[in-house]
Amino acid sequence: MRAGMVLRAIGYRGVPVTGLPFDENSGTVPHEAGRVTGHPGTYVVGWIKRGPTGGIGANRTCAAETVTTLLADAIAGALPAPQHTPRSFRRLARRRNRHVIDARGLAAIDRAERTQGKATGRPRVKLSTVAELVATARSNRISLRH
């Protein structure tokens, strides 16, 4: 029998994160809608939240739930006050990963993917490498792959 596509998925078990509660049975951090139990201002997404299940759709739903919880906490004034300035956070993020992409970069990626999709009759064509994503985000302009 021929197959047009084969997907291999390997579930990874979550491991404890220092300072956070951990459920050994499920390999997850206990939470309520993404809010870590007993740790105000701490949130989880993905497999550490729900266990090694689901693909892109599940990840998006999972992340949307956590972001909704985070925003509700922010609106309610339930988040702890920041210990550092926004500028020091940006410096830390860039020190840890030189490929940090801001909101303008994400918008550039979205425009480029939608433009490529439109050219092929699809909603979007996903950029598939870190190099493409970073270059598109940094260029802030649409660049089409050939």
3-state secondary structure 63-77: HHHHHHHHHHHHHCC
- Cα(42)–Cα(56) distance, integer angstroms: 23
Burial of 124 (0-12, 13-18, 19+ CB in 10 A): middle
**Domain carrying residue 131:** 86-139
Supply the pLDDT for residue 143: 46
Claim to verify: residue 65 and residue 118 sit in the same structural domain = no
Taking Cα atoms as reference points, which of 66, 16, 62, 68 lies closest to residue 42? 66
Supply the pLDDT for residue 84: 92
Claim to verify: residue 51 and residue 74 sit in the same structural domain = yes
Segment-wise mean pLDDT, segments of 10 residues, the chain, 146 residues: 65 86 95 95 93 81 95 94 91 89 92 94 93 91 46
Q: What is the C-alpha end-to-end distance of the chain, expressed in Å?
A: 34
Claim to verify: residue 99 and residue 52 sit in the same structural domain = no
Residue 144 domain flag: no
Q: 17-28: string of b/e by CB count within 10 Å (b at 16+)?
A: eeebebeeeebb
Supply the pLDDT for residue 60: 87
pTM (predicted TM-score): 0.62
Claim to verify: residue 13 and residue 26 sit in the same structural domain = yes
